[in-house]
Structure 1
């Protein structure tokens, strides 16, 4: 039974890592979108 618990814990850690990755990816996408918006706005002001 001890080995089974280890596997379960490993899976949980893997899941936690995966959600962290997703969160990072989402925040990165958000940052990029924000940068692009600022860039577009400054580009529009120049014209």
Structure 2
């Protein structure tokens, strides 16, 4: 995945996470948050 693709994926995950405010979405939000953390770690690792 190109850096720009990863950046876009992170941006979209952040937007999606901000929309998951319903308590029924808690599990989805938790998993998305974990995926977002992993994507951010990958971005940082690729920088350096």
TM (normalized to structure 2)? 0.50
Q: Which structure carries more relative contact order (alpha carbon 8 Å, separation 6+)?
A: 2
Query: Shift of residue 30 of structure 1?
Result: 0.2
Matched, 1:27 2:34: no
Write the distance in 2 (CA, Å) between the matches of 1:12 and 1:26.
21
Query: Shift of residue 18 of structure 1?
Result: 0.2
Write the distance in 2 (CA, Å) between the matches of 1:21 and 1:14.
10
TM (normalized to structure 1)? 0.51
Which aligned segments of 4 or more residues in structure 1 are displaced greater than 2 angstroms? none
Matched, 1:15 2:35: no
Write the distance in 1 (CA, Å) between the matches of 2:35 and 2:26.
14
Bigger radius of gyration, 1 or 2?
1
Give per-residue Cα distances to partners, 1:4-42, cap 9 Å, x unaligned: xx72xx100000000000000000000000xxxxxxxxx
